[in-house]
Amino acid sequence: MIKKCIHNSSLTLSEVKELAKVRPHEPFINYKGNNPWDYPPNDEVDAIKKKIRVDLEASQKVCGFCGLKLKGTSQGQIEHIAPKAYFRHPEFTFTLKNLVLACHYCNSPEKKGTKDTISIKKTIYSKCKFNIVHPYLDDPEEHYEWTDNEIELLIQVKNDSPQARKSIEIFGLDNPDMSELRAGEFRHSQLKTKYALLPADELLLEAALGK
C-alpha cells in the first residue's frame, strides 16, 4: 500500500527565510551552473539542508513514491519531486513540500531522473498541477487500488487516474519484484497489528520472512 507522506519540519522561521534567499532564480550566474542544493552557497544553508534530512528521516519511513520501507542498505535519498535541474524547476529546490525520501530504485536515473512531473506550473508550489501522484499533495487512496493474490500485492489505477498511470509507468510500481516485496511488508504489518509484537518478536518475524 502507498500512503500519503507527512513532513514534520523543525526549521525555524529564520532558517526558512535563509532558504528563501538562496532560491536559485539564476542558477548559472550565481552558482557556476551548479544547483545550490548540491553546492550550498554557505555553511548556514548546508546546516539547514542537513536538518531537513534529519526531519525527513524522522517523519518518513517509506519511499514517497513506491511506499516500500526505507531500511537496510539505504535510508533513502532526498528526491526533488519536481526536478531541480536548471531546465526544469530550480525555483522549487528548497521548497519543503518538494522534498521527499525515495528508495534507490525510484530515485534512479532510469526511473524518475529529471523527468518533468509538473503539467501546469504556477508560482506557488502547491497550486501546480502534477502529472504523478504527489507524495504530500495527493491521497494515494484516491488514485490506486490493490489486489492481493497472496504472493503479490498488485497495484492498479483507480478512477481512471492519469496521475496513477504516470506514477506506475515512471516508477515501475507494477513490477513483479516490487509487488512481491509489497505483499511481504503488508503481511508483516498485518501480523504486527494482530499480535502487537514486542521488538524482539519483530526481529524474529523479520528473520522468518527473510528480511
Shortest approach of Zn ion to residue 122 CB, angstroms? 27
**Contacts with Zn ion in 68-107 (CB under 5 A)?**
103, 106
Rule CB under 5 A: say whether 2 interacts with Zn ion: no
Give the length of the chain: 211
Residues whose CB falls within 8 Å of the CB of residue 67, separated by 6 or more in sequence, listed in order: 1, 2, 3, 140, 182
Number of residues counted as binding Zn ion (CB under 5 A): 5
- Cβ(10)–Cβ(55) below 8 Å: yes
Between 63 and 132, name the residue whose CB sits nearer to Zn ion: 63
Between 12 and 108, name the residue whose CB sits nearer to Zn ion: 108
Q: Between 32 and 71, how does the x/- string for binding to Zn ion read (CB under 5 A)?
A: -------------------------------x-xx-----
- The single residue listed with the C-alpha cell 545550490 is 36
Task: Specify the pairing of strand 118-120 against strand 77-80.
Answer: unpaired
Task: List the beta bridge partners of residue 146.
Answer: 155
Shortest approach of Zn ion to residue 71 CB, angstroms? 12
Task: Reduce the secondary structure of 5-22 to three states and give it as a string.
Answer: CCCCCCCCHHHHHHHHHC
Shortest approach of Zn ion to residue 66 CB, angstroms? 3
Shortest approach of Zn ion to residue 77 CB, angstroms? 10
Between 90 and 135, name the residue whose CB sits nearer to Zn ion: 135
State the DSSP code for 24: -
Residues near Zn ion (CB under 5 A) are 63, 65-66, 103, 106
